[in-house]
Amino acid sequence: MNAKIRLYVDHPLGQGQTVPLERDQAHYLFGVMRLGQGAQILLFNGHEGEWLAEVVEAGKRGGLLNILEQTAPLQEPPDLWLLFAPIKKARTDFIVEKAVELGAARIVPVQTEFTNSERIRQDRLQAHAVEAAEQCGATVVPEVTDLNKLDRLLADWPERRTLYFCDEAQAGTPSGFADDTGPAAILIGPEGGFSDAERARLSSKPFARTLSLGPRILRADTAAAAAITLWQYHRGDWR
């Protein structure tokens, strides 16, 4: 197998099936990457693992792939959500990219009292998640939701899911995750931190736990990557 390009497709996958390409996909494969008939690529759709496919038709506005064989089974990420307050565009992109690479199952932008950005392009962030999954070998693309208000999320929170909120006020205290094995979520606050009212509300919730990320205050994008890494090490699929 000499396939080096991975492509996410919204199409059923199975040996012997054909997969039509959309215009943007055809442009990427045949215009940008200069592939032609007979070239091999890897496909995944988030449901049926990874498959090797061969180009049978290559055109400027479309193309057709033939699936040869499965190369990897579906690998579901651990049941971990990342909640974060959006920051500057490039750093928000970084958070989404690293969340996918590190194995988050769902990515939830959150509006807090001190969040700098009041709107996001959900479709753009979802496309960024697809690109990250294509690059890192994931077989599932996590959902990136629309922007949610923190108060509304807490009001409707599934109580079996432990929520770890990374509070910069806890810097310097021991860090650690609970020993339970149930679903979890990590909440990263905005650059200005959580308000006193938000800290009080979070602390009052039986499903919420405060989490320190070490002796120094981290930037929001660094904190997101650090927190997921710690969770993966203690409870995730890195063990």
Task: Indicate whether 62 pLDDT > 80.
Answer: yes
Check the CA dihedral 67-70-71-76 and report its sign. positive
Indicate whether 165 and 131 sit together in one domain.
yes
Residues 221 and 98: their CA atoms lie apart, in Å, by 9
Task: Indicate whether 180 pLDDT > 60.
Answer: yes
Mean pLDDT of 129-141: 97
Q: Give the CATH number, domain containing residue 27.
A: 2.40.240.20
Contacts for 166 with CB less than 8 Å, ≥ 6 apart: 186, 187, 188, 189, 211, 212, 213, 223, 227
Task: Indicate whether 217 pLDDT > 70.
Answer: yes
Indicate whether 162 and 192 sit together in one domain.
yes
Overall number of domains in the chain: 2
Mean pLDDT of 93-117: 95
Which residues, in sequence order, are bridge partners of residue 40?
54
Which of 71, 73, 7, 4 is CA-nearest to residue 40? 4
- Does a structural domain hold residue 1? no
Mark 24-49 as b/e (b = at least 16 C-beta within 10 Å).
Answer: ebbbebbeeeebeeebbbbbbbbebb
Task: Write down the pLDDT at residue 121.
Answer: 94
Indicate whether 52 and 125 sit together in one domain.
no
Looking at 36, 52, 72, the residue that finishes a domain is: 72
Q: Which domain holds residue 67?
A: 6-72
Q: Taking all residues of the chain, what is their mean pLDDT, rounded to a whole number?
A: 92
Q: Lowest mean pLDDT: which of 80-94, 100-114, 177-191?
A: 177-191
End-to-end, the C-alpha distance of the chain in Å comes to 30
Indicate whether 14 and 36 sit together in one domain.
yes
Which of 60, 52, 120 is CA-nearest to residue 91? 120
Residue 87: is it exposed, middle or buried by C-beta count within 10 angstroms (0-12/13-18/19+)? buried
Mean pLDDT of 133-154: 96
Which one has a higher pLDDT value, 218 or 51?
A: 51
Strands (DSSP E) along 28-91, which ranges?
A: 40-44, 50-58, 63-72, 80-84
pLDDT for 187-208, tens place per residue?
Answer: 999 988 899 999 999 999 999 9
Q: Give the CATH number, domain containing residue 97.
A: 3.40.1280.10
Task: Indicate whether 172 pLDDT > 60.
Answer: no
Task: Write down the pLDDT at residue 117.
Answer: 72
Q: What's the pTM value of the predicted model, to 2 decimals?
A: 0.92
Indicate whether 125 and 201 sit together in one domain.
yes
Indicate whether 101 and 219 sit together in one domain.
yes
Indicate whether 23 and 124 sit together in one domain.
no
Q: How confident is the model at residue 103 (pLDDT cuts 50, 70, 90)?
A: very high
Looking at 43, 72, 101, the residue that finishes a domain is: 72
In this structure, the number of other CB atoms found within 10 A of the CB of residue 148 comes to: 14
